[in-house]
Structure 1
Amino acid sequence: MDFPSRIKQQSCADCLSGVSLGFGIRMAFQPIIDWHSRSVFAYEALVRGPGGEGAAWVFEQVNDSNRYYFDQACRVTAIKTAAELGCSTFLNINFLPNAVYRPETCIKATIEAAHMYGFDLKRLIFEVTEGEDIVDKAHVRNIFRSYADYGFLTAIDDYGAGFTNISWLAELRPNLLKLDMSLIRDIDKHPQLQRQLIEIKAECELQGTQMLAEGIETEAERDCVTALGIRYLQGYLFAAPKLEYLAPQSEIHHLE
């Protein structure tokens, strides 16, 4: 992948300061539930604008000239904010593979931020969205292998909504596969969707990948996916994302 020399020459201090981004970002957090223990497994960091604007507004500001800085700023801001809020679970951070020119170089600011703010690197999960327009699949495989070597967990987000298929899942071998809400919506009413999840689950079990159901909004959806053996859950049924706030166990709904 071809990156401008100015990006390759920048220092970790530039990434940590966010001076090159050109606009401010903040983070909202949504809990991920471990249904087996009825507890919070992780919080996903979701980017917001400086005034709390939604992700759509933020991504309208992202272009080829600032994509790298945006990816770096999101990582640093997520770690800094989560640490300040006292996060003691896993932290899910979304990254843009097309913004990573060399995994071992682009991860330096992330590691430095974790050390600076006292966040345990072993509690980081890096997600790549299935909807990302992947230019070079071999490049993504290299990122996943590199992150695994560092001891980070990896995840494919929005599975079922974009570029991946079962064979691509086997190539990346993520620790976590997050099922897009299109596979979850009203799943209790659609046997075909249930059969599809059973097939995906069988493939995941072969390679030791855990599944997570995103976008759960009803108890019926929750009960159906857990009956199919899906352990990790996320959605408005339990808690909505909140700006710079980690919803405690006492505020999470429908864990019974």
Structure 2
Amino acid sequence: MAFQPIYDAVAGRVWGYEALVRGLAGEGAYSVLSQVSPEQKYRFDQDCRVKAIELASRLFPADEPLMLSINFMPNAVYEPAACLRATLSAARRNNFPTSAIMFEFTENEEVADTAHLQNIITEYRKHGFTTAIDDFGAGHAGLGLLVDFQPDLLKIDMKLLRDVDTSPARQAVVDGIVGIAEKLDITVLAEGIETEAEYLMLKAAGIRLFQGYWFAKPAFEELPAVRDVHGVPAVA
């Protein structure tokens, strides 16, 4: 696992870290996931969750409130309560609070059964987990999925945000997403931020949470140093 920080522009500190799967030779998530067969998905999904929790329990400062964000594959979850057993066991074993864990499901994986997804989210919330839609606006279902399911957090896909500071069309889309999220009481995160201009534009648009190379690149099995945004260290 590699870890990439999520920066809170309001608090001026790191809000949490996303755990990103990596190959043994440093291969990216896409390369690794492309090698996972349908028969291996469930076991792979479970192992990634446990690994992320184990590493975070060792790396996160004990005196700082940080969130651990974990990606999961909805189609790998056959029965929500049963699939959470390994996660809950890992959290207890490592003394890691479930309230500090956020599960992201990506729009890039098509979910044919939205009722099944709703059952997953309901079960996760029952145990105190935060939920998020990843890659919003670039996958199989955008506003339709948001209508069916309101997560705690919405991550706007980087393709919608690239050069947003110079694109009126992208700015209009962002304003629309932020407005909808505000009415639904959903926190918005801008991902894939690569320049200060993008960050300042999106912060002015009302976005609170940020992630991207401009803040820090993912670091393999460690917490990377984070850009000094306000003249003081942003690391938690």
Task: Give TM-score scaled by structure 1 length.
Answer: 0.86
Q: Which amino acid aligns with 1:54?
A: G
Among 171, 178, 185, the alignment partner of 1:194 is 171
Following TM superposition, where does structure 1 have runs of at least 4 consecutive aligned residues deviating by more than 4 angstroms? none
Distance 1:57 1:184 in 2: 24
User: Does the 8 Å contact 1:170/1:207 carry over to 2?
Assistant: no
Aligned-residue offset at 1:167: 3.5
Matches within 5 A, 1:88-107: 88=64, 89-107=66-84
Task: Give TM-score scaled by structure 2 length.
Answer: 0.93
Distance 2:183 2:207 in 1: 15
Alignment of 1:72 onto 2:46: yes
Among 188, 198, 202, the alignment partner of 1:225 is 202
Partner of 1:181 in structure 2?
158
Partner of 2:2 in structure 1?
28
Q: Which amino acid aligns with 1:253?
A: R
Q: Computing the radius of gyration over CA atoms, which structure comes out larger, 1 or 2? A: 1
Render the CA deviation track for 1:11-69: whole Å, top value 9, x for unaligned: xxxxxxxxxxxxxxxx0000000001110001000001123222122112201110000
Partner of 1:3 in structure 2?
none
Among 102, 108, 120, the alignment partner of 2:97 is 120
Aligned-residue offset at 1:241: 0.2
Identity %: 47
Partner of 2:234 in structure 1?
none
Partner secondary structure for residue 48 of structure 1: coil
Render the CA deviation track for 1:109-154: whole Å, top value 9, x for unaligned: 0000011111111100000011112131211111112211221100
User: Does the 8 Å contact 1:166/1:203 carry over to 2?
Assistant: no
User: Does the 8 Å contact 2:114/2:148 carry over to 1?
Assistant: no
Alignment of 1:216 onto 2:176: no
Distance 1:241 1:82 in 2: 14
Alignment of 1:38 onto 2:12: yes
Higher relative contact order (CA 8 A, sep 6+): 2
Partner secondary structure for residue 246 of structure 1: coil
Distance 2:184 2:226 in 1: 31
Aligned-residue offset at 1:190: 0.6
Q: Which amino acid aligns with 1:45?
A: A
Aligned-residue CA RMSD in angstroms? Answer: 1.2
Alignment of 1:84 onto 2:58: yes
Partner of 1:47 in structure 2?
21
Structure 1: tracts of 5 or more residues without a match: 1-26
Distance 1:196 1:254 in 2: 29
Structure 2: tracts of 5 or more residues without a match: 231-236
Partner of 1:153 in structure 2?
130
